[in-house]
Amino acid sequence: MDETPNLALALAELRGAVELGFERTNSSTALILLRLDQLDDKHAELAKHVEQLQTRLAEVEKTAVTTTQLTERTRQIIAIVGVLVTLAGAVVALIQLTRG
């Protein structure tokens, strides 16, 4: 008969320990779920920001001048200036020839 109260007491203690364990597990699970929701929100925000940056980059790349294009334009400008200087020299030489 002594074992029955001890067994009931042990079962009650075990039940309390199991309930406490379940409460802690439920609390931890709720905290993890809350943090996952926060991470999902942050991920969605960052994904939206990345999408905006990709859109901006695509717009910039459409209108950007590359180094090769800039070098080619510079060569063309130098060639045009060279032709104009040559023409100006020829005009000055003709004027001096006609006066002289």
Length of the chain in residues, anyone?
A: 100
Residues 6+ apart with CB under 8 A from 73: 65
Per-residue pLDDT of the chain (100 residues; tens, 9 = 90+): 567 778 888 899 999 999 999 999 999 999 999 999 999 999 999 999 999 999 999 998 888 888 888 999 999 999 999 999 999 999 999 999 998 7
pTM here is 0.51
How far is 21 from 99, CA to CA, in rounded Å? 113
